[in-house]
């Protein structure tokens, strides 16, 4: 007798003798499926055996083939029967087991809440609309002209170094030096004045981008731009508007100071700092009286019109209001941190 024939016959004898016990011993569906796979799965006993068939002498193939098929069918039948029996037993256990306890407390859905920056943005828009300001918007990708030139930045002025940004590729695939991610919301001033006649009062919140990265600087952050143009506007009006919105936002717990500073598009210009009592000063924005050259660029008569503008860092205001030491914490989306406010 050939070795292959003997191995085949012995193997088949063994499978025939053991499959019933193997399948009936399974107590649940996963173990039944595992037992079935040991017999007829890709690596199963019978599957491997059938691969030997081609080495079996020709005159025995028919007879052994028939026996193998019969075992295969028997295995399938037993498996199906067992599967059904296990499902029926599980159903039965559910029906006769302990009843569903309808008094158990439900699972409470976790309510979402607004991000602290979104909340401050909404509060700011509420304050300014109640003071008569309109809400304005502008695109995050804008032109060099709207972001710098019309605001009075001379070409290649060092002031643009502080607002190094990300440029955008044009349709030809080359970086277009005239199209960029806006570095401040002051683009909104230019856009609003270019499409409207004075007098006007607008605020525009938005996302801006710079090549910045440390504890108080993020490469993507939020600003709120404010612009008021009318006749006889003075620095006192600016200070008044700042005082109203900052005291509404912070209450009385935060001190605010103005510090003279330079921005090409205002004259005079100032920086706005805030701190909690005993804490560190934090620069939250810039402001000033609109420079006549800006009015000229948008076609307003600088002899007739005056105005103030400001640009506040919304993230910085959130840091002061909620005592957040590192700006990154606002963007990591750690729910434990965000839900502590």
Which residues form the interface with ligand FA5 (CB under 6 A)?
Answer: 184, 186, 210, 212, 217-218, 221, 223, 263, 266, 269, 283-288, 309-311, 313, 315-316, 327
Could you tell me the smallest distance in angstroms from the CB atom of residue 282 to ligand FA5?
A: 8
Could you tell me the smallest distance in angstroms from the CB atom of residue 247 to ligand FA5?
A: 18
Alpha-carbon distances of 118 from 61, 85, 98, 104, 125, rounded to whole Å? 78, 57, 49, 37, 11
Nearest residue (CB) to ligand FA5, 263 versus 295: 263
Which residue's beta carbon is nearest to the bound ligand FA5? 313
Could you tell me the smallest distance in angstroms from the CB atom of residue 122 to ligand FA5?
A: 19
d(CA 315, CA 52): 73
Nearest residue (CB) to ligand FA5, 19 versus 263: 263
Nearest residue (CB) to ligand FA5, 198 versus 269: 269
Cis peptide leading into residue 199 (ω within 30°):
yes
Could you tell me the smallest distance in angstroms from the CB atom of residue 123 to ligand FA5?
A: 17
Nearest residue (CB) to ligand FA5, 205 versus 269: 269
Which pair of structure tokens corresponds to residue 256? 């605010």
Could you tell me the smallest distance in angstroms from the CB atom of residue 199 to ligand FA5?
A: 18
Could you tell me the smallest distance in angstroms from the CB atom of residue 97 to ligand FA5?
A: 59
d(CA 287, CA 235): 10
Could you tell me the smallest distance in angstroms from the CB atom of residue 30 to ligand FA5?
A: 54
Nearest residue (CB) to ligand FA5, 44 versus 268: 268
Nearest residue (CB) to ligand FA5, 64 versus 242: 242
Nearest residue (CB) to ligand FA5, 138 versus 286: 286
Nearest residue (CB) to ligand FA5, 179 versus 261: 261
Phi, psi (deg, nearest 5) at residue 157: -65, 140
Report how far Cα 266 is from the mean position of its chain's Cα atoms. Answer: 36
Alpha-carbon distances of 11 from 48, 61, 109, 161, rounded to whole Å? 10, 15, 58, 81
Are the C-beta atoms of residues 210 and 141 closer than 8 Å to each other? Answer: no
Residue 176: CB atoms within 10 Å: 15
Could you tell me the smallest distance in angstroms from the CB atom of residue 263 to ligand FA5?
A: 4
């Amino acid at each position: 007798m050939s070795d292959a024939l003997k191995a085949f016959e012995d193997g088949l004898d063994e499978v025939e003798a053991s499959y019933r016990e193997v399948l009936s011993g399974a107590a649940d569906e996963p173990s039944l499926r595992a037992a079935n796979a040991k017999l007829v799965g890709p690596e199963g006993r019978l599957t491997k055996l059938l691969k030997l068939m081609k080495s079996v002498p020709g005159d025995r193939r028919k007879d052994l083939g028939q026996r193998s098929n019969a075992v295969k069918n028997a295995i399938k039948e037993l498996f199906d029967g067992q599967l059904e029996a296990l499902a029926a037993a599980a159903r039965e256990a559910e029906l006769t087991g302990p009843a569903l306890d309808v008094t158990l407390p439900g699972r409470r859905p976790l309510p979402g809440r607004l991000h602290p920056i979104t909340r401050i943005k909404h509060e700011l828009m509420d304050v300014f609309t109640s003071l008569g300001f309109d809400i304005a918007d502008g695109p995050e990708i804008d032109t060099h002209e709207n972001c710098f030139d019309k605001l009075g930045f001379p070409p290649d002025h060092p002031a643009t170094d502080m607002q190094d940004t990300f440029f955008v590729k044009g349709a030809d695939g080359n970086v277009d030096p005239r199209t960029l991610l806006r570095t401040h919301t002051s683009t909104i001033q230019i856009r609003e004045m270019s499409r409207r006649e004075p007098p006007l009062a607008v605020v525009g919140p938005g996302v801006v981008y710079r090549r910045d990265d440390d504890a108080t600087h993020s490469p993507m952050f939020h600003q709120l731009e404010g612009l008021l143009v009318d006749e006889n506007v003075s620095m006192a009006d600016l200070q008044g508007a700042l005082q109203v919105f900052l005291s509404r936002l912070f209450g009385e717990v935060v001190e605010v100071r103005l510090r003279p500073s330079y921005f090409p598009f205002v004259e005079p210009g100032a920086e706005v700092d805030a701190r909690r009592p005993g804490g560190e000063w934090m620069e939250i924005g810039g402001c000033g009286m609109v420079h006549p050259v800006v009015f000229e660029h948008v076609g307003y008569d600088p002899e007739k019109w005056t105005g103030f503008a400001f640009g506040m860092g919304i993230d910085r205001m959130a840091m002061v209001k909620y005592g957040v030491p590192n700006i990154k914490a606002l963007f990591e989306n750690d729910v434990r941190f965000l839900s502590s406010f």
